Every structure is written in structure tokens, then in C-alpha cells.
Homo-oligomer: A and B are copies of this chain.
């Protein structure tokens, strides 16, 4: 009877344990968890704070409503889960772990045949003056969620400061905003989601957040917290912000102490090194979830990518392998999806910045369009940025945002990246088309077309960033080919050099533009901008560019 010991009672740990049980009805499976809660879906917690989820216990329930507590694991899965039990050491020679009952402080040695380390990650807590004040929360455990929500429910919280504009930070900003709390997000870097968005996309997301009532302070550094007992103010290098509550979300670090102390290999990212079977440097010890590092399958590089999805997959693979099979985990794409109010944001594969750092020769295109035919109610824009290797025409990465159906496209491109698709494959794919779901040529295929056009010199793009520089220099003609009605409704703000010639009139009004003028053509999404450029180039104009993404993707101000 195989003895399987698991350290950590959440996603990777319990998934491993559950899968071992299905593989091996005889195994003796014990899970140690130092906390008193297990098997919780932490990812849902922002929606509890935001009020969409009524009860924090939902995160520990099965879809059928059963609480996943130790009794559940015993009855359903014949797994012993010991809560409030800290594993303090691993003795690889003796094949035991030392566990400490946190109620009694008793220590015991527990033998294992196979050990699973699933200790997760812990939020970074910066050693700033005042960090010990009350009301400064990390947001990682259900207890944190309950503390934050009860404060709001009690009406005690009028203004909140979130530190860090990453996934948890922006989800919490949404939650506060939804609950009517005045919220400010402070981010040291110059953009939101600095870990996974390129500058121009991050700019659009930040614009959306700001316009919808989330205050963003980018490129700003928190220096201290003021208050007596409880936090009252956050002091940055630029200002003082009143705060009834502070949420820290500046990242997490893998919990590797046990593994390190046991002499297991730690990888270049600082997380536990595992091979493709999820084995550590000791073949009797597996590790998975937030405490291990992953391989990015595009770059081949080791990455720290602590995700609940990955943790669960690790767990299944570990369970298979402990069960006597030989199953590999291939790696990750650092795929991300996140909702910010009604904006959907996603990314898979490499960012442009990463592609550049890794030395790829690449092209990018940013393409906006409706997510389904404009005549269908609920049609909303989606902007996709593709990063493609120039020679091989292979997709390297994609980012997308918009109020439309973004994540479907991210998932399709994750599938594409998994298999090394080229842009030609992206266009060929027979994606489902019916008006409730998409346009006849899906946004992904249009984005692939734009890259093809760029590679063949048919589309000369200019990013919003470069276009803004040109605008400020005041030398280029900004050729807005929308209708006068559209132009009156909304325009690029303070656009020096703007000229509004509707596309349908362009062929007869060519004389209004000089053949040597630098022309930047655009429209709402820059489809007409592209057609305008085709017309101008066909007529011999030599210096015409299309502003990629159009007005809907413009990260700077517009005027009405």
C-alpha cells in the first residue's frame, strides 16, 4: 500500500491527491495544510468583495453544493486531510516529513513513498514604514476577502488604495468600484498589467479604467503608510492619498523554504525546478502549482507563472505519475484573461517586449473590429495585437482587449500557439460563423490578414504611440476618413494636422493632399483607414501609413 503525502491543501495539492485516489484505490493518501481552510477557489474572491458572490463558502463548494472540507475528502475520496498542520521539514534519506500540529504544537515524523510539494506562493509584503498598520491587506486567502468585504458591508470604507496594477490589483479595483468605494490604484511601473501587456494596449486599458472611475497613479512609488493603529493615508513619492483600506497586490513569491532546506533543486526563476513529469530533483518527490517553475513553450525559457489553471493541471499530471503512469506536462503560454469592469483583456504567448528581448525578427499588427456583425444587438469592439515571427510566419503571441468577446479569441490563439500555427493557418481555420457569435471572417483571421498585408508591404502600419509623436511634432496629415457625423461625435483630441475626408469622397478629393505629405490614415477601427491608404498608394502617394487599431484603440484622449 503506497503512502502518498501531500504538502498544501489547495489546488495543486488536492488535485494531485484526488487523481492519485482515482488511479490507485489502495494508496494511503495524507494531505497536510497549515491553515484551517482547504480547497478554496481564491480566484473568485474579488467577485465576493464586489458583491457578485454572496457567501465566501461558495469557493469551497462543489457545483452541487457540497463543502469540500476534510470530511468531504474522507467520505468521497478516502483522503486524509489534516488542517492546522505545518510541515516543518523533509527528510529525504528517511523518506519522512516532520509535521507540527498547530493546535497542540506536537511534532511527528510521517513516512512517505511519494511526496508532493504543493506549498503555493505567498504575497510579497514590502517592508515600508507603517506596513504593520491595521487595514493593510494582502489579498490571497479567504480570510483576507472576508476582512475586506465586511469592512465595506459595514460602511466603514469610503476610499481604498490598491497597490500594484496586476491581475489581483485590477480585479480588486473593479470590486471596490462596483461597491461604490472610491478607489485609487498605485503602480510603480508606467503602465497597468506591466507583466503581460505591451505599452499601447496597457494604455488603452488604463484609459478605459480611468474613464470608468478607477483612479490610476502610474509610475508612482509608495513610500509609507500613515495612521494610528489603522491606516489613514498612503504616501507616495508624489502625493498623499487618504485611504480607509489598502490592498497590497505587488506580486507573489513561491514558497520554496522546505524544498530548499531539503536540498531540492531550485530553478533560475527562484521556484522549485521540476522536469516534464513534475518530478523535482528527487524522483520520489513531485512538486506542482505556484511553488514550481514552468516552461514557456514558445520561448523554451523557464518562467514563474503562478496560475490556478496550471496548478490544477500539474496536480492531475502528478496524480497520473504517482499512479504509475508516465504523463508529461508540456508547459505554459503565460496565458492570462482578466475583466476590468466591462472590459475584457487577454494575452497568450510572448509580448512584443519579450519577443524583442529574445531576439526574434518579428512583425506586429493591431487590428480592431466588431466581435460580431454590427447589426446584432450587443456587438462590441475587440482589438487584437499579434506578434509574428517574420521568416517562419509563426504566431509568437497575442494580446486583445475590448468590451466584445475577447477571451474566445485568446483561447483560439492559445490553441494556435500550442501547435505552432502560422498566420496562414490562422486565416484558414474554419471557425464557427453565425451572426450571434462572430463575423464571417473572424477577428483572428482579419488580424492574420493584416500581418500578411504588412509582410507583403501592402499595409504600412503606424502604432498609436508613434502616431502620437508625429501628432505632437505637427508634421503629418492625420487623415480621418470617417463620415462628418462620426467626426463630429468623437475625434482624436488636439489632433494637429487632422483632415476629415470621408472614404467615399477620397478618390475625387485626392488633390487636397500633397503627394509627398506624410499621411496617417485612420477611422474608427482603421479598416477604412487601410482602404484609404490603398487608394492613395494606388494613386501614387508614397508616404502613407495606417494608424493601427483606429480610434477605438487610441490610448490617448479623444474629444467630443
Question: Which A residues fall within an 8 A CB radius of B?
Answer: 11, 21-23, 25-26, 41, 43-44, 47, 52-53, 58-59, 61-66, 72, 75-78, 167, 297, 307-313, 316, 325, 329-339, 344, 346, 348, 370, 373-377, 405, 407-408, 410-412, 414-416, 418-421, 425, 427-438, 440-442, 445, 449, 456, 458, 482-483, 486, 503-505, 507-508, 523-525, 528, 531, 534-535, 537-539
Q: Are A432 and B348 in contact (CB under 8 A)?
A: yes
Task: Report, nearest first, the 8 A-B pairs whose CB atoms are least far apart.
Answer: A25-B538, A337-B432, A419-B419, A309-B433, A415-B415, A63-B374, A58-B375, A333-B430
Q: How many subunits of this chain does the assembly comprise?
A: 2
State how many angstroms separate the Cβ of A504 from the closest Cβ of chain B. Answer: 4
Q: Are A430 and B310 in contact (CB under 8 A)?
A: yes
How distant is the Cα of A553 from the Cα of B419 in the complex, in angstroms? 31
State how many angstroms separate the Cβ of A67 from the closest Cβ of chain B. Answer: 10
Best-surrounded residue of A441, A456, A458 (most CB of chain B within 10 A): A441
* Residues from chain B with Cβ under 8 Å of A329 in the complex: 428
Instruction: Using known A-B contacts A421-B419, A436-B339, determine if residue A412 contacts B410 with beta carbons closer than 8 Å.
Output: no
Best-surrounded residue of A316, A434, A442, A539 (most CB of chain B within 10 A): A434
Q: Are A418 and B414 in contact (CB under 8 A)?
A: no
Q: Are A431 and B309 in contact (CB under 8 A)?
A: yes
How distant is the Cα of A508 from the Cα of B331 in the complex, in angstroms? 40
How distant is the Cα of A249 from the Cα of B483 in the complex, in angstroms? 39
Q: Are A64 and B22 in contact (CB under 8 A)?
A: no
How distant is the Cα of A537 from the Cα of B66 in the complex, in angstroms? 23
CB<8 Å pairs between A and B, sample of 9:
A47-B375, A63-B524, A75-B504, A75-B507, A307-B433, A332-B430, A414-B431, A418-B421, A419-B421
Q: Are B64 and A482 in contact (CB under 8 A)?
A: yes
State how many angstroms separate the Cβ of A552 from the closest Cβ of chain B. Answer: 11
How distant is the Cα of A312 from the Cα of B508 in the complex, in angstroms? 29
Best-surrounded residue of A312, A375, A440, A445 (most CB of chain B within 10 A): A375
State how many angstroms separate the Cβ of A427 from the closest Cβ of chain B. Answer: 7
Q: Are A430 and B458 in contact (CB under 8 A)?
A: no
How distant is the Cα of A83 from the Cα of B108 in the complex, in angstroms? 88
Best-surrounded residue of A313, A316, A339 (most CB of chain B within 10 A): A313
How distant is the Cα of A77 from the Cα of B337 in the complex, in angstroms? 38
Smallest CB gap from A25: residue in B: B538
Q: Are A44 and B414 in contact (CB under 8 A)?
A: no
How distant is the Cα of A75 from the Cα of B440 in the complex, in angstroms? 24
Q: Are B25 and A309 in contact (CB under 8 A)?
A: no
* Residues from chain B with Cβ under 8 Å of A325 in the complex: 456
Q: Are B418 and A505 in contact (CB under 8 A)?
A: no
Beyond known contacts A25-B534, A412-B412: 10 more, CB 8 A cutoff: A59-B375, A64-B486, A66-B483, A76-B504, A309-B442, A312-B440, A337-B434, A405-B408, A415-B419, A415-B431
* Residues from chain B with Cβ under 8 Å of A337 in the complex: 432-434, 436-437
* Residues from chain B with Cβ under 8 Å of A312 in the complex: 440-441
How distant is the Cα of A364 from the Cα of B296 in the complex, in angstroms? 31
Q: Are B44 and A376 in contact (CB under 8 A)?
A: yes
Instruction: Using known A-B contacts A22-B534, A332-B430, A419-B419, determine if residue A374 contacts B78 with beta carbons closer than 8 Å.
Output: no
Q: Are A428 and B432 in contact (CB under 8 A)?
A: no
* Residues from chain B with Cβ under 8 Å of A508 in the complex: 75
Q: Are A61 and B374 in contact (CB under 8 A)?
A: yes
Q: Are B414 and A411 in contact (CB under 8 A)?
A: no
How distant is the Cα of A325 from the Cα of B456 in the complex, in angstroms? 10
Smallest CB gap from A77: residue in B: B531
How distant is the Cα of A407 from the Cα of B332 in the complex, in angstroms? 23
Instruction: Using known A-B contacts A64-B482, A507-B78, determine if residue A52 contacts B377 with beta carbons closer than 8 Å.
Output: yes
State how many angstroms separate the Cβ of A304 from the closest Cβ of chain B. Answer: 14
